[in-house]
Amino acid sequence: MTRSKVLAKLRERNKGHYRMLAFCIFLSVLLIGAFALMYFGPTVQDFLPEGGDTRKMAVLLMGATAVGCAIFTLYASMLFFRYKSREYGIFLALGEKKRNLNRMLFRELSSLTVSASLAGLAVAVPVSWLIWKLFELFLVSTDEMVYRLGIRGFLVGAGFALVLTLLLGVAGYRFVRCTDIMKILRTRHQPEMVKKIPSWTLPAGIVMIPLGIILALGIPQMSVYLLGKSAPSVTNLFYIPSVAGIYLVLLNIVGGSRQKNRKRFYKNMVSVSLMRFSARSATRNMCVIVLLLFACLFAFSFGLTYFDSGSLGTMENTRGFAMHYPSGENRITKKEIFDMAEKYGVQIQGYAEDSAADLVISYNTTDYTEDGSYVAVDLDDAKTALFLAEETWQKLTGREAEVESGTYRTVITPGYKENIWEHVDGLYRAANPDTGTEKELAFVGTLEDGNLPLMSDPYVYVIDNRDYRELTEGISGTWTEQIVMFDVDDLEGSYPFAKTLYAMYIEGASEETFVMTLYDRWEEERAQEAGEEYAYSGLLDVTPDNTQLFNEWKYVPDFRIVYSQDILQSISVYVMLCLYIFIITLATAAVMTYVRGISVASDNREVFLSLKKLGADASYRKWVLKSQLAKIFTYPGVLGCAAGMIFVLAQNWINDRRYSASEMKNFGILGVVCVLVLLFFYAIYRKVKKKAEEIVL
């Protein structure tokens, strides 16, 4: 029997510990490697604009993800070292040289880390391909987004594996530095009891959790609406009471204050005492799990919001195709559109076109001053906005609009909620930019349409037919626009047709119309008269291939299917990141809970032995163990999910003081995800319970 044979036998007997650590390293490297292969691959790198926000955000989120992975691997290594400490101590007590043991430990650790890392990197390739294919299936399916492998992703993955190896090495070094044999051999941990917890801390904690969230989210909004000033970023400190609330609630659960019901108190006494004995570390650990679950749900909710922004939505009062362009422009004709549709087998429905006028408006709006205040201002003859005659509205949308002379209706998108800047009733006068004819107008209400509001800033207005004729008499073609709107029989299947039409539209456009969305000819002329520089002058690089011009180009065609696909492409990276963070935070929380559960059993082996000797039968001991483990899983699970739900609920409400249908739907989905997360926790609980029973019973 040689030393290496002894060690091999020990490894064989304790392969579960090695497997657990190897799995965590493998999972970490796999997650980061697969992500890096995707993100640093040529496809995403070519797609994302250089130096853009998406890149910054992606790198930031990836950094956070890497930290999460490193934490859960290090946490798993603690369990490994705990097991090793006993073996180590016995060898030391038997006279083995510490140097030999250290060498043995680092040899084992490095072979474990290297093999698990290599396996993780190797599996990362098919996994990243598979996830990409999944995203292609649901999100992106264009030629530019074909999966391509790049060396940079590999290097990043390998770099992460190296950092992880170093971190585990540091953890190992800290472990071997402990030279006290008795300390190593002692399996019972140090008492970490907390002082008596005052009874008020539980209700205080329960109140502080939502209060902190509401204050941190609500104060910046209240500051803007009530005081007319932006709140300083220091208001984020209001999240601290929420975290403190979580800590207090958990401390009460762990510390277990004396219950008034004495029978219940004694019934739970042993289980409570076990947790109370390690109160500090148990509370800290549960607190981290709650925050991880919160981050996990937050990432999921964020991903849902991104995903929603790329969907076609309800298409209520919205046409699939809409265009507007200066009247003098030579764009595609009705015949060309119908011919193209026929070529692509698309059936056009409800085709309508008419002209509208850009009139000079005097209106009330909100200005943001240099000292950070929001002030209401009346701007006379400030800019132009698109005006439709009642009959044009009816022709384009097929819907009636009741507008009396001297009044106007503001066109808003379905489900629109007014913001602090613009007010639907802000307009009070309109004027002809050529003749100067002007008319006082009064607000009588709004009209809903999905396409028209996107054609003019701040709004599109509908006025009485006679008022329109009076105001536009003598107006030149410079100030009128042509609007075309229609639907197709199968919007989802009309992407090739829409792309061709899009290209045709751009090819027919003259270069001087390639202006920014907020460009206003009237404003530019006034600026030139005053000798000032106009902020929105300059032309965009508009090409038939560039479909990223929504919210950029003033006359961009509003082809919903193109728009939706483009948004999906640009958000797919975000959705992917959010899903990754969701997976990683959940995995971290699961590993931490698993390790905690197993530690409860291994740390309290003697306690269960005492209970057995005192006459506690197996069912009582099982019950004590079960209630102990259930607490570790239930409370952080429920609290983490509740905090996540409260946050999303408060955030959605505070944003615009209402819940939109999409927010309600997402909230429902989040609820289902919470249930799935809790079921996942339950599955781990069952596994831990089985393993823990093997240890203590």
Partner 1 sequence: MDEQELARVRNQNLGFVFQDFMLLDGLTVFENICLPQVIADSPVPQMEARAGRFCEAFGIGRIRDKYPAEISGGEKQRTAVARALMNSPYILLADEPTGNLDSRSCRAVIDAFLQAKREMGATVFMVTHDSFAASFCDRVIVLRDGMIYTELTRRGTRREFMDELLEVLRELGGEGDDEE
- Enumerate binding residues for partner 1 (CB under 8 A): 188, 191, 193, 262-263, 266-267, 269-270, 272-277, 606-607, 609-620
Using CA atoms, how far apart are residues 190 and 394, in angstroms rounded to an integer? Answer: 79
Question: 185 or 340: whose CB is closer to partner 1?
Answer: 185
Using CA atoms, how far apart are residues 154 and 107, in angstroms rounded to an integer? Answer: 25
Using CA atoms, how far apart are residues 268 and 270, in angstroms rounded to an integer? Answer: 6
CB-based burial, 507-537: b 16+ in 10 Å, e otherwise: eebeeebbbbbebbbbbbebbeeeeeebeee
DSSP letter assigned to residue 452 = G
Question: Least distance (Å) from partner 1 to the CB of residue 253?
Answer: 14
Question: 212 or 255: whose CB is closer to partner 1?
Answer: 255
Question: 277 or 559: whose CB is closer to partner 1?
Answer: 277
Question: 358 or 603: whose CB is closer to partner 1?
Answer: 603
3-state secondary structure of 218: helix
Cis check for the bond before 458: say yes or no (omega within 30 of 0).
yes
Question: Least distance (Å) from partner 1 to the CB of residue 635?
Answer: 18
DSSP letter assigned to residue 320 = S
Which residues, including other chains, have CB under 8 Å from residue 459's CB and lie 6 or more apart?
385, 410, 411, 412, 422, 424, 427, 453
Question: 357 or 624: whose CB is closer to partner 1?
Answer: 624
Which residues, including other chains, have CB under 8 Å from residue 688's CB and lie 6 or more apart?
593, 594, 597, 598, 629, 633
Question: Least distance (Å) from partner 1 to the CB of residue 223?
Answer: 48
Question: 367 or 617: whose CB is closer to partner 1?
Answer: 617
Query: CA of 661: how far to CAs of 447, 492, 666, 668, in Å?
Result: 19, 22, 9, 11
Question: 5 or 613: whose CB is closer to partner 1?
Answer: 613
Residue recorded with tokens 């006494």: 269
Question: 13 or 613: whose CB is closer to partner 1?
Answer: 613
At residue 140's C-alpha, the angle toward residues 137 and 144, to 5°, is: 125
Using CA atoms, how far apart are residues 258 and 427, in angstroms rounded to an integer? Answer: 66
CB atoms under 10 Å from CB of 480, counted, come to 18
Radius of gyration (C-alpha) of the chain in whole angstroms: 33
Using CA atoms, how far apart are residues 208 and 247, in angstroms rounded to an integer? Answer: 10
Question: 114 or 609: whose CB is closer to partner 1?
Answer: 609
Question: Least distance (Å) from partner 1 to the CB of residue 287?
Answer: 20
Using an 8 Å Cβ cutoff, are 586 and 66 in contact?
A: no
Question: 270 or 296: whose CB is closer to partner 1?
Answer: 270
Question: Least distance (Å) from partner 1 to the CB of residue 21?
Answer: 29
Question: Least distance (Å) from partner 1 to the CB of residue 631?
Answer: 13
Q: What are phi and psi of 4, to 5 degrees?
A: -65, -35
